[in-house]
Structure 1
């Protein structure tokens, strides 16, 4: 079998993270994704550095590594959509595409004839996904939306970080732009659903994705708790609001993470440390009791956890099926034998004449037995595939040269 999405053509008009994350998922699954970028500038994230990619001499280039996080397996072309010939070219490409993904402001592509109504009239089978900060309607629809802003607005920062009365307490963003990433994942799921529905209806459809919607959706159990009780949860550091002990603990030489999720695991933990009576104590015998008596439990556990090193705790508890682990840096994570065994670093060659011979990327976590992810292309140089894509569209060398002369590409 070929790739899962072989034969699907995606016109990617998005930039930064949410849209490109979505289209990279589709590209990894085999879709032919054409990334459209501004001539001379490209996607904003090409310039979001340091850090920058290094050339074969080990010197920094002008290309930021940020771009490589979400643009693997794509072909890059440069088209000026403000130019009439550029607009005509993109409409021609959309007429042959299965999917368009864009993250311009609401109504921003209408002036170029690249909005859903215009393109679906040319191609009724087109699946068109718009990604914005706040959606296509509502009082905030016209506002620009960014991950950090949405992390604050949706409530995520209110449950992230140390409690206000703890050292360093206060609202904190997640260390990765998680709302952008989750929006890209939701968008790719919606697109796959629309493609499946098209098999029955013969028609594409419009998809309205909003960062704020996604930010609220991924509050998960925290939102469910609020909806059930009317009580807004608060920041509590690494403590889990519904499980105990489920957090980090200082050890003799650092920290260890315990993730005890049921009473059996807690009983095995107690036996391992030589305190089996804790598991029989009415205050700690059940998870609900442990949550209610968390302070008393932590007062007992804290001194005990300081008696061993992190490695000693992991060796002791893993042998007894008590979930635990180190708190790694990213460098330590990539050195972890399980990460290496799973091949989570993928090195891809690139020959774009810019001195960058290859780019390291993070493997897709999607493991399909019959249609596996295919790592075909490194994240592309700006405009690397312009001529190739236009030739695929049927343009000859003279037509491509004329477009370049007019600065449409």
Structure 2
């Protein structure tokens, strides 16, 4: 059930979601959370690949593991799932009918992969000129790599992210390291949803809207390069490629983890005022007056000397004691939590980050846990209308809305088109 009766910001927008795995579904979940009606089209029997990417698997009402992977639930909330075989002529006809009524299509097939089914942009644009069509691929629609398949791990490696993640060569555990989440896929989903919102505004804006849709070409590699952010900017400014430095920030100090008396603690000092207050609190106000440490630039240049002083001091208190000491002094300091500890954090619990949604699919899974959308809109809030669906849970419902009779739906089932 919705958490609010207020219409969502994208209420009335219809999205035909032909994507699978993570980047595309992340984008369409963003649109669904904002109120769009997202129809997720899946392969009959098999469904989205991530339904099988386990363990871990969802548990049924009796507490037993099912065959449905929890991965799928990360990015398919608020959607309706239908099963359609797009290789079947009657399946294609259904999708064309849906595309004719849609505002947005999102797909992540290989370049040109949907042309054979008449589901490419040019074909659908002729049918529906207002359509916004977003393609997500590894390397974009053109260029020497356009035909290659692209996955998050591959792009993390190619864009240089793994070269700046992890401990430096020669240190224990040194070497290239991927981020613990498929961040390129997630960022691509976020960029894609932003591009779709921009295209909707360009089409519908009351003063400048064109009334026409457009094509959006999203590439994981493009996104991977973009999210290098300050590291990319530093390289472009100097011509020097950054390397791995563990948890040390290349442009700030001290901004890293430290051993405490009972574990580890994080200091994230971003300006000279914070550093001065830290020095006062830990009993070394003279550090802030030392020319080597008085400014951030100096601290970065004399990082080794600073760490030589900091490390033994940081071991004198427990993590909790450091947090308590610095909390009221506006010095950023915190624990290094496990995921379990993060979900149990008082602030995380207060903000309602973990949500449980009922799933009325008759498949033995009564409810599904999900992570709240972090966008907090005051007038058109995110809603939680549906749990991530079971495979084909809404096929009959959606086809009825298209005007198909029960007899016609049974015939399509018999023909294995749905």
TM superposition score category, shorter chain reference: over 0.9
Q: Find the counterpart in structure 2 of residue 195 from structure 1.
A: 200
Distance 2:328 2:88 in 1: 65
Matches within 5 A, 1:4-403: 4-199=9-204, 200-403=209-412
For 1:220 and 1:273, the matched residues in 2 are separated by 33
User: Number of matched residues?
Assistant: 409
Distance 1:34 1:321 in 2: 46
- Report the Cα distance in structure 2 between the residues aligned to 1:159 and 1:318, rounded to whole angstroms: 30
> What displacement does 1:396 show?
0.9
1:75 match: secondary structure: strand
Alpha-carbon shift at residue 268 of structure 1 (Å): 0.4
Question: Offset of 1:321 from its aligned partner?
Answer: 1.3
For residues 350 and 321 of structure 1, what CA distance do their matches in structure 2 show?
A: 43
State how far apart, in whole Å, the 1-side matches of 2:150 and 2:335 are. Answer: 35
Q: CA RMSD in A?
A: 0.5
Q: CA deviation at 1:353?
A: 1.1
Structure 1 stretches of at least 4 aligned residues deviating more than 2 Å after TM superposition: none
Query: 1: CA distance between counterparts of 2:73 and 2:221?
Result: 25
- CA–CA distance in structure 2, aligned partners of residues 78 and 371 of structure 1: 31
Q: Is there any run of 5+ residues in structure 1 with no aligned partner, and where? A: none
**Per-residue deviation, 1:319:** 2.1
Structure 2: gaps spanning 5 or more residues: 1-5
1:221-274 CA-to-partner distances (Å, cap 9, x unmatched) read: 000000000000000000000000000000010000000000000000000011
- Structure 1, residues 171-203: CA drift from partner, whole Å, max 9, x if none? 000000000000000000000000000111010
Residue deviations 1:107-159 (CA, integer Å, cap 9, x gap) = 00000000000001000000000000000000000000000000000000000
Shift, 1:320, TM fit: 1.5
Q: TM-score, normalised by structure 1?
A: 1.00
